[in-house]
């Protein structure tokens, strides 16, 4: 199953690059859901010869939470605040793709000199997780919408989760920490949406757009 593991790692990095290559928030959320779905299959691939009940629970929990609940909340959020696309990103589309490719190459180059405790379950686990971390950070700092910045944080969390999965046998506690981060993100998204709604109600109608009564002479 090593081939499936490596292919999944590469696919997760590709999905992160795909998010950089689009301005449509709906498309970003759909790509994130696909990335999370592939990530949820990793525990089964890592222990394909001896799948335990913990692997199944972890896979199903990740699939439901990351690929189901969090995208559902994001879709609900953009419907409530009527947001469909990213406006005026700091870096343009073409430049974002080039910078993203450079970050991926840099992540693979840096990972060759890193030494991690224990034995990694996948050869591409470390470089791909580092690449996803960098791409998520780039999404956070180059996009201006709050929802897309939250998506960048989610991509970073997926990178941490991928790194933890590659060291699943040596450091299983990191998996539980990743699930707790997802719960925090869900609450964080809800807070952002409620804040936007409250701001709209507090500001009220724009006085410049109100119709002024005609003066009678």
pLDDT exceeds 50 at position 144: yes
Q: pTM of the predicted model, to two decimals?
A: 0.79
Average pLDDT over residues 4-30: 89
Q: Pick from 171, 174, 165, 170: which is nearest to 125 by CA?
A: 165
- Residue 193: band (very low, low, confident or very high) from pLDDT cuts 50, 70, 90: low
Tell me the pLDDT tens digit for each residue of 38-58: 998 888 887 777 777 877 888
Decide if pLDDT at 177 tops 80: no
pLDDT the model gives residue 38: 93
Query: Closest by alpha carbon to 179, among 193, 160, 166?
Result: 160
pLDDT for 216 equals: 44
The per-residue pLDDT for 31 is: 94
Domain edges within the chain: 2-189
- Checking if the pLDDT of 217 tops 50, the result is no
Mean pLDDT within 182-187: 64
Q: Which of 75, 70, 41, 67 is nearest to 56 (CA)?
A: 41
Q: Which residue has the higher pLDDT, 12 or 172?
A: 12
- Residue (of 51, 52, 73, 70) closest to 62 by Cα position: 70
Cβ atoms 103, 138 nearer than 8 A: yes
> Model confidence at 90, in pLDDT bands (50, 70, 90)?
confident
């Amino acid at each position: 199953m090593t081939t499936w593991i490596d292919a999944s790692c590469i696919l997760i990095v590709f999905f992160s690059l795909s998010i950089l290559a689009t301005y449509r928030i709906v498309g970003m959320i759909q790509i994130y859901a696909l990335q999370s779905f592939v990530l949820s299959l990793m525990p089964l691939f890592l222990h394909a010869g001896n799948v335990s009940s913990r692997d199944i629970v972890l896979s199903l929990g990740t699939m439901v939470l990351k690929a189901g609940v969090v995208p559902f909340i994001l879709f609900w959020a953009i419907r409530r605040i009527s947001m469909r696309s990213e406006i005026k990103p700091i870096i343009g589309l073409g430049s974002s793709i080039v910078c993203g490719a450079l970050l991926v190459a840099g992540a693979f180059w840096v990972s060759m000199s890193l030494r991690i405790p224990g034995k990694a379950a996948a050869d591409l686990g470390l470089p791909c997780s580092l690449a996803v971390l960098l791409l998520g950070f780039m999404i956070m700092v180059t996009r201006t919408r709050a929802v897309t910045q939250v998506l960048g944080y989610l991509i970073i969390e997926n990178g941490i989760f991928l790194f933890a999965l590659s060291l699943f046998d040596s450091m299983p506690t990191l998996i539980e920490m990743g699930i707790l981060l997802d719960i925090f993100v869900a609450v964080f998204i809800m807070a952002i949406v409620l804040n936007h709604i409250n701001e709209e109600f507090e500001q009220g109608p724009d006085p410049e757009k109100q119709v002024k009564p005609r003066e009678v002479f």
